[in-house]
Structure 1
Amino acid sequence: MASGGRGVQRVLVKLERSIQEGNYYEAHQMYRTLYFRYNAQKRYTEAADLLYTGALTLLNAGQQQSGVDLAMLFIDTLEKAADSVSEDSIKKVCKLHELVDPDIQERANLVTAAIKWSRKGAREMLSGHPSLHQQLAVTLWHEKNYSQARYHFLNSSDGEGCAAMLIEYHVTLGYPSEVDLFITQAVLQYLCHRNKPTAERCLNCYTKQHPQVEPGPPYYRPLLNFLWLLLLAVEGGKVAVFTILCEQYQPSLQRDPTYNEYLDKIGQLFFGLPPPAKPQSSRLFGK
């Protein structure tokens, strides 16, 4: 890393000494000093390298607050830089996220900042870069934070990973009667995100790998059959098939009041149906 002058070089030497001596407070302040100098000169690449190294060092040393502070500055620097979002920068952000204590509020702030940065230059990524969401999801899954992992998987393109997580989630915390509910909401939400390929992969992996799901299709459980047929209907694009399918499976769809809301949106996205006539009731197929 270029030093950028004798003054910066002196700070770098002092910084290294502080780290070796375990004087992390002083090290943190010097990281910030160097950051402001690089930032003022718009030397964002050097600033990002410095902040990432510093955040790693402090987080690995158990200095959570200081480490998160540098991690936030790292993301802020990535935001300012002219570089587009890359897999390498996503990997670094997710590594820092992994090292932050799950129980502190700053971790949520880090995720919010990371998602905002990952939208950079891509209008189609309003919810954040799929690769960022996928890596965040895996970390949260390993921490057994299934609900948050599910949220990030649904904003990724990793249908296989989502299915494996949902299986573990259901087997660990769900009831046997909910085996079809866990996958139904996920598939419908993927479709609401216009992500049909991932919806298909998620359903296929879930039904093939879940120990409580019989071979298919067709399936013994009506909702699993509905999902299989729904994906075929989306592929075909015929509104009559979609409408009849939703009407025929209403008894099963009524197990969760959100299903018909998702189907309203799917009808609009894939079949050109209008929004519900009455805003207070979005159930096109409800009774």
Structure 2
Amino acid sequence: MYRTLYFRYNAQKKYEDALELLYTGSLTLLKHNQQSSGTDLASLYINTLQTSGSPVSDEPVSKIANLFECMEADNPERQTYLLECINWSIKVDPIYKSGHPVLHKKFGLIFWTEKNYAQARYHFLHSTDGASTAALLIEYHVSQGFPTEVDLFIAQAVLQFLCLQNKDTANVVFMKYTKEHPDLKEDPPFFKPLLNFIWFLLLALETGKVSVFTVLCEKYETSINRDPTYKEYLDRIGQLFFGLPPPKHSPHGMFGNILQSLFSGDDSDLDSAMGSSGLEVTTEELD
């Protein structure tokens, strides 16, 4: 019945009626544990948003999140629905090349509630909610990290935000994390050298002085070498914020492959990213 009415409304270009039908139908089916049928209507809801050219606004985003939250975590079509939602937001608002940050925030909050920290982290990385990202990272580290990784959790996140050219959120995340993490709760300068490096890096971004950036990377080389990916992130940050040329050597090996996936915009890479550690960033986002 739902699909019959949907095709009728769609043929008549009665998109508002179609959207209301699909949303209420999907919600009803999902709440009655008819996951497959409910997800099918949810997918048609996204398709209709795209067909009608509906903008990313509070109402559809809220409804998208409601439907996603009603889908069981082991629903095989849940991830497909999520990708359809993100692709819709990209097509109607292409300035956000990895998806609208408001939509990512909604997904991040849902995954966080489900204690799926890796996927929550991925979506918060593509949002502009620094306070929630910091709170998530604190909970993630406290529940699943080692005490010695307290600085690694925030350093990676800040560097990735900067690679996405999201400097403002990077600053908020760093300050909230260092002030509110139960193992830190301190103001700069910090006891841990890596935290001082990140703090000085954020300050250096305000000056744009390449000499300051170069000296920082040299002085804190030992801390930077704790994670081999940091060097690749910093190469990119040097290009974006300090006008440095790309390194003459191309990334290679395992970490080169990671960066290749970071800078790709393929749906399969996005899917892989949201199922792992949330490292992926598209090439277009960095241009």
- TM-score, scaled to structure 2: 0.86
Secondary structure at 2:4 match in 1? helix
Look at both structures and tell me which one has the larger radius of gyration over its CA atoms.
1
Q: Is the 8 A contact 2:53 2:92 kept in 1?
A: no
Residues 178-217 of structure 1 mapped to structure 2, 5 A cutoff: 178-217=149-188
State the distance in 1 between where 2:215 and 2:59 align: 47
Residue pair 1:214, 1:220 contacting (<8 A) in 2 also: no
Q: Percent identity?
A: 57
Of residues 197, 202, 217, the one that matches 1:246 is 217
AA in 2 matched with 1:263: L
Once the two structures are superposed, the pairs formed by residues 34-73 of structure 1 within 5 Å of their partners are: 34-73=5-44
Post-superposition offset of 1:45: 1.3
1:16-95 counterparts in 2 under 5 A? 30-95=1-66
- Note if contact 1:253-1:260 (Cα within 8 Å) is conserved in structure 2: yes
1:108 is matched by which residue type in structure 2? Q
What is the letter of the counterpart of residue 164 of structure 2? H
User: More displaced, 155-164 or 273-282?
Assistant: 273-282
Q: Distance in 2 between matches of 1:129 and 1:101?
A: 24
Name the residue aligned to 2:239.
268
Provide the aligned length of Structure 1 versus Structure 2. 254
Please list every run of 5 or more consecutive structure 2 residues that lacks an aligned counterpart in the other structure: 257-287
Contact (CA 8 Å) 2:50, 2:92: kept in 1 or not? no
| Alpha-carbon distance between aligned partners in 2 of 1:102 and 1:83, rounded to the nearest angstrom | 27
C-alpha distance after superposition, 1:149-208 (max 9, x if no partner) = 000000000111011011011000111000000000000000011100100110011001
Matched residue of 2:177: which SS?
helix
Deviations 1:204-228 (A, max 9, x none): 1100110001512000001111111
Whether the 8 Å CA contact 1:84–1:120 is kept in 2: the answer is no
State how far apart, in whole Å, the 1-side matches of 2:106 and 2:58 are: 11
Mapped partners of 2:62, 2:206: distance in 1:
34
Given that 2:111 and 2:120 are in contact with CA atoms closer than 8 Å, whether structure 1 keeps it comes out as: yes
Q: How big is each residue's C-alpha offset from its partner over 1:50-94, in whole Å with a ceiling of 9 and x where there is no partner?
A: 100101111111111111000000000001013322121111101
State the Cα deviation string for residues 235-282 of structure 1 (Å, max 9, x = none): 111111011101111100111111111111111111111111011369
CA–CA separation in structure 2 for the residues paired with 1:226 and 1:115 = 34
Taking the aligned partners of 2:129 and 2:215, their CA distance within structure 1 comes to 30
Letter in 1 for 2:171: E
1:106 paired to 2:80: no
Moved over 4 A (4+): none
Which consecutive residues of structure 1, in runs of 5 or more, have no partner in the other structure? 1-29
CA contact (8 A) 1:237 1:271 kept: yes
The one-letter code matched in structure 2 to 1:76 is N
